[in-house]
């Protein structure tokens, strides 16, 4: 039986999970590839720590270049994360004619263009199924299953830690800080989970989905991002009263000349299937011009889950090698015509309904004052909850608006927050129409 | 620019949708394939009816064989449905070295072995993304995205018409017959929609998913199937009171030596994401040993939706042709070792909780009598709703049991239905544990 050799750079959580999967499901994998997939080398600076999986010591090396230079290795798996070193290894491996599999979303989002270019120049494959949505095969769906469609919209719950925190805040009414501690203790989150909760991680993944949808990398810095750190259980409870759930949502929408690209907390109607995605689960909701609405759901992270995605890429490449197929499709599976770059609409132009929670003095005329200033900025109110109960920081006045423009909202809030009748900063959550 | 030629056999709803998509998204498709995809011939017995799409008359033919014999055609799309003629065309096209795309679930479920064999013998590709779940790229996910996993369980809402009917019966409390009329009027369903509501259509699709999960076709006739025709809005309402939704569910589960394979109405806990799949939507919930739980959701039928799946197969094949890749993976993407056929567990051995609705005389001792007979058959009651209201056909006694064996349930119901205190046949719904 012939043999396809792989080398793994980075023997952390996902590296060890990948090794474990390749050993544990060897029969299935051999059957699907038609050849044996063998791990020839594993490179990590730390070759001592027990990873919970038996590895023959002779496979381990601290020298990633030894692996990249090994002429017997067909596929290099980059799982070290980070930007510069990882990019260097990937480029060098491709220059040696090796196919590359990576789970590195930050690298693809911020330096994707260089990697896609290098893969094309050297005629090698690039697998990155594990970079978005953990085990959910969304990359494959966008490259192949939905390939006949013009993608109109993407709405994703792309960060499991944030979703876990928001689910707990909603169900148990725990404050944000307490849910963060719980997520860290249960091993869902880093301590502190900055990139998870500030929207950066979700924005990295959104950048990758956008590049697949539109056939071109985007400028990551232009993606608007806002995290969940300002939300309170109170807001999530009011959202429920209005019939919505709150999720950290990554949104892209094709507007023709521009696209929307943004990550922020968003209210979703409870009957929408995305509103029912809870705990550490991820989901990607897509709208295509022919397929209509689709949703893909699964665990967004974890050793075994992510390994499932990494190994699916290995199987796909190994099968092609075994079949003798040398033609390689471009990494994004299509390419936008030159000069037709994807342009991101400035956030100020967004039009959306909004949720506001004002903390106000319990005094006559307050609501009329607020409504007046909103009106001056072309923001009209759809519904209000004002319960008049006394709390430390003033009485909450909660409202949903009709569609308004982000720039108007920002101006209105900035005027309002200067008023003495408002005792605390106003909380704003955008509403995604179902 | 080079050109890949396709021929379409069957110019009904899906055929016309496929043609429309190939024209309407030509730029996207060319971009993804690297070559132009051109419809060279369209064969249908009826070349007169207006299909709502402009087709050059010179493309139309009533002679499918002229299309199959055309040496310029690379890919043949079979969209006529039915068994014998479709099989004949597919086999002949493969013998001519053509790749085949089909949406024919009945044919794959009932004669798949012959088709897979023929494809392998002639080294041609077989695409059948459109056969299950309409536009949901579930075939692709199982062949590629989840390929590293041992599939433990599949639970699918695979028939949109049934789901539409059950959603209406639940939300509007309309009786079954009224929802059927509505589904027919709105064009969701054939009149009468026999294969949709009796579970046959879902069982066809389940057979295909099983063959992909386990690498071997199964004997279609061994899949247990039961439809939704006996359900009443009353039962759906009681199910809600117990915290469940009722769906027509296709279930497969890996038990080691055997698999479960069955289609029947099932109660699903409301917090389960499958319980939130409503209207004409389909969804497939899968559990893999590494990926964990995944869900794929989208419209299960319709002209444009199904065309999306057909054309994704065309794009995949055309891209390989254009890249010069001649190696073709086997149709199911893996194959069970010889002698290890998939064996379906007889339905009598199923173990599950059950819902019963008895119609009983409003008389003392009735519940005790029923419970006694259930107890004799090792069936223990988990909870009961007995409201004592008078209705024509007796008082409803509704209960959920703990786990019981199907054979015991069948025996108990058969004894119970002979009792004079029961005024109508007992309704039974199996409960799928979350």
Given pLDDT bands bounded at 50, 70 and 90, which one contains residue A189?
Answer: confident
Cα–Cα distance for residue pair A358/A373, rounded to 1 Å: 13
Q: CA A174, A180, A181, A186 torsion: positive or negative? A: positive
Look-up of token digits 């809600």:
B240
Which pLDDT value is given to residue B122? 98
Which pLDDT value is given to residue A389? 63
Cα–Cα distance for residue pair B142/B135, rounded to 1 Å: 14
Residue A231 Cα distances to A251, A353, A422, B413, angstroms: 19, 18, 18, 54
Assess whether the region A139-299 and the region A350-432 belong to the same CATH fold: no
Which pLDDT value is given to residue B339? 77
Locate A296 and state its tokens. Answer: 């893909």
Which pLDDT value is given to residue A187? 82
Mean pLDDT of A114-125: 97
Position A407 pLDDT exceeds 80: yes
Phi and psi at residue B150, to the nearest 5°? -85, 120
Of A237, A240, A259, give the one whose Cα is nearest residue A250: A259
- Chain A hits for B320, Cβ within 8 Å: 325, 327
**For B173-192, how does the pLDDT look when each residue is reduced to its tens digit (9 = 90+)?**
999 999 999 999 988 788 89
Peptide bond into A192 cis (omega under 30): yes
> In chain B, which residues have pLDDT < 50?
none
- Chain B hits for A323, Cβ within 8 Å: 325, 327-329
Position A204 pLDDT exceeds 60: yes
DSSP output for B9-51: E--SHHHHHHHHHHHHTHHHHHHHHSSEEEEEEEE-S---S--
DSSP-derived 3-state class of residue A406: helix
Given pLDDT bands bounded at 50, 70 and 90, which one contains residue A428?
Answer: very high
Position A338 pLDDT exceeds 80: no
Cα–Cα distance for residue pair B119/B150, rounded to 1 Å: 25
Q: CB distance A295–B297 less than 8 Å?
A: yes
Find the closest chain B residue to A333 by CA distance. B32
Expressed in angstroms, the distance from the first to the final Cα of chain B is 53
Helix (H) or strand (E) holding A115: helix A105-121
- Chain A hits for B276, Cβ within 8 Å: 273, 276
Cα–Cα distance for residue pair A57/A214, rounded to 1 Å: 45
Pairing relationship of beta strands B224-225 and B259-269 according to DSSP bridges: parallel
CATH of B347-432, one of 3.90.79.10, 3.40.50.300, 3.30.70.260, 1.20.1090.10: 3.30.70.260
Q: Which of B295, B308, B335 sits opposite A148 (nearest CB)?
A: B308
Q: Complex ipTM, two decimals?
A: 0.96
- Chain B hits for A283, Cβ within 8 Å: 295
Position A291 pLDDT exceeds 90: yes
Which pLDDT value is given to residue B396? 93
- What is the CATH class of A139-299? alpha beta
Position A434 pLDDT exceeds 60: no
Position A325 pLDDT exceeds 70: yes
B362 touches B423 (CB < 8 A): no
CATH of B138-299, one of 1.20.1250.20, 3.30.230.80, 1.10.3210.10, 3.30.360.10: 3.30.360.10
A240 Cα to chain B: minimum distance (Å): 16
B76 touches B102 (CB < 8 A): no
Q: CB distance B308–A28 less than 8 Å?
A: no
Given pLDDT bands bounded at 50, 70 and 90, which one contains residue A392?
Answer: low
**Regarding predicted confidence, which is higher, A368 or A190?**
A368
B234 touches B357 (CB < 8 A): yes
Residue B362, classified by CB atoms within 10 Å of its CB into exposed (0-12), middle (13-18) or buried (19+), is middle
**Regarding predicted confidence, which is higher, A379 or B389?**
A379
Q: CB distance B307–A148 less than 8 Å?
A: yes
- Chain B hits for A277, Cβ within 8 Å: 273
Would you please indicate which residues of A are annotated as catalytic (active-site) residues? 205
Locate A65 and state its tokens. Answer: 């270049």
- The domain ranges of chain B are 3-134+303-323, 138-299, 347-432
A83 touches A106 (CB < 8 A): yes
Cα–Cα distance for residue pair B145/A306, rounded to 1 Å: 12
Helix (H) or strand (E) holding B2: none
Q: CB distance B334–A147 less than 8 Å?
A: no
Cα–Cα distance for residue pair B153/B155, rounded to 1 Å: 7
Compute how many other C-beta atoms are within 10 angstroms of the C-beta atom of residue A375. 12
**For B106-126, how does the pLDDT look when each residue is reduced to its tens digit (9 = 90+)?**
999 999 999 999 999 999 999
Phi and psi at residue A295, to the nearest 5°? -135, 140
Mean residue pLDDT of chain A comes to 95
Cα–Cα distance for residue pair B82/B12, rounded to 1 Å: 13
Which pLDDT value is given to residue B288? 98
Which letter, b or e, does each residue of A312-322 get, where b requires 16 or more Cβ atoms within 10 Å of its Cβ?
bbbbbbbbbbb
Residue A419 Cα distances to A358, A394, A410, A424, B278, angstroms: 11, 13, 15, 10, 47
Locate B33 and state its tokens. Answer: 């394939």
- What is the CATH class of A350-432? alpha beta
In CATH, the number for domain A3-134+303-323 is: 3.40.50.720
Q: Which of B273, B299, B316 sits opposite A297 (nearest CB)?
A: B273
Find the closest chain B residue to A338 by CA distance. B31
Position A391 pLDDT exceeds 90: no
A189 Cα to chain B: minimum distance (Å): 19
Report percent pLDDT > 70 for chain A. Answer: 98
Locate B204 and state its tokens. Answer: 């066809």
B199 touches B248 (CB < 8 A): yes
Find the closest chain B residue to A316 by CA distance. B144
Which pLDDT value is given to residue B126? 98
Cα–Cα distance for residue pair A265/A205, rounded to 1 Å: 16
Of A275, A266, A269, give the one whose Cα is nearest residue A428: A266
DSSP-derived 3-state class of residue B383: strand
Q: CA B186, B190, B191, B197 torsion: positive or negative? A: negative
Q: CB distance B288–A323 less than 8 Å?
A: no
Q: CB distance A307–B290 less than 8 Å?
A: yes
Look-up of token digits 């944030």:
A162
Look-up of token digits 């071109």:
A216
Of the residues A290, A311, A314, A334, the best mutation for testing chain B's interface (the one with the most B CB atoms within 10 Å of its CB) is A290
DSSP-derived 3-state class of residue B166: helix
Cα–Cα distance for residue pair A78/B303, rounded to 1 Å: 42
Cα–Cα distance for residue pair B86/B103, rounded to 1 Å: 11
Mean pLDDT of A141-163: 98
Cα–Cα distance for residue pair B195/B283, rounded to 1 Å: 19
Residues with Cβ within 8 Å of A412's Cβ and at least 6 positions away in sequence, in order, are: A373, A374, A376, A377, A379
Edge-first strand order for the sheet with A75-78 is A60-61, A36-43, A3-9, A75-78, A99-102, A126-127
Q: CB distance A308–B290 less than 8 Å?
A: yes
Cα–Cα distance for residue pair B410/B354, rounded to 1 Å: 11
Given pLDDT bands bounded at 50, 70 and 90, which one contains residue A254?
Answer: very high
Cα–Cα distance for residue pair B156/B206, rounded to 1 Å: 8
- Chain B hits for A288, Cβ within 8 Å: 135, 308
């Amino acid at each position: 039986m012939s043999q396809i050799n792989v080398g793994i750079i980075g023997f952390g959580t996902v590296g060890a999970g990948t090794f474990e999967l390749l050993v544990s499901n060897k029969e299935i994998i051999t059957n699907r590839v038609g050849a044996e997939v063998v791990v020839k080398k594993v490179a990590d600076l730390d070759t001592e720590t027990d990873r919970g999986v038996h590895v023959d010591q002779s496979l381990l090396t601290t020298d990633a270049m030894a692996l990249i230079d090994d002429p017997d290795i067909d596929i290099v798996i980059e799982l070290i994360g980070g930007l510069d070193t990882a990019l260097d290894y990937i480029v060098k491996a491709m220059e040696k004619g090796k196919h590359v599999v990576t789970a590195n979303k930050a690298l693809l989002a911020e330096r994707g263009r260089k990697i896609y270019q290098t893969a094309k120049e050297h005629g090698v494959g690039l697998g990155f199924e594990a970079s978005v949505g953990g085990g959910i095969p969304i990359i494959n769906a966008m490259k192949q299953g939905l390939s006949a469609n013009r993608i109109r919209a993407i709405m994703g719950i792309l960060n499991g830690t944030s979703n876990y925190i928001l689910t707990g805040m909603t169900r148990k009414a725990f404050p944000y800080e307490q849910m963060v501690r719980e997520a860290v203790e249960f091993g869902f989150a880093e301590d502190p989970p900055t990139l998870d909760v500030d929207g950066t991680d979700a924005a990295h993944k959104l950048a990758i989905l956008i590049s697949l949808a539109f056939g071109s990398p985007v400028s990551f810095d232009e993606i608007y991002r806002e995290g969940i750190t300002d939300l309170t259980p109170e807001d999530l409870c009011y959202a429920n009263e209005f019939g919505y759930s709150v999720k950290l949502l990554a949104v892209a929408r094709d507007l023709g000349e521009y696209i929307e690209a943004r990550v922020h907390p968003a209210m979703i109607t409870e009957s929408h299937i995305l509103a029912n995605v809870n705990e550490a689960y991820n989901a990607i909701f897509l709208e295509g011009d022919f397929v209509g609405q689709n949703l893909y759901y699964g665990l967004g992270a974890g050793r075994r889950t992510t390994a499932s995605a990494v190994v699916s890429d290995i199987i796909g490449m190994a099968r092609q090698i075994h079949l003798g197929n040398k033609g390689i499709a471009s990494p994004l599976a299509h390419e936008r015509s030159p000069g037709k770059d994807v342009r991101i609409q400035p956030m100020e132009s967004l039009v959306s309904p909004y949720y506001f929670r004002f903390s106000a003095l319990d005094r006559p005329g307050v609501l009329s004052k607020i409504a007046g200033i909103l009106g001056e900025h072309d923001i009209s109110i759809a519904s209000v909850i004002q319960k008049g109960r006394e709390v430390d920081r003033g009485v909450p006045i909660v409202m949903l608006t009709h569609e308004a423009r982000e720039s108007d909202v920002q101006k209105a809030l900035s005027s309002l927050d200067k008023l003495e009748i408002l005792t605390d900063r106003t909380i704003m959550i955008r509403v995604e129409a179902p």
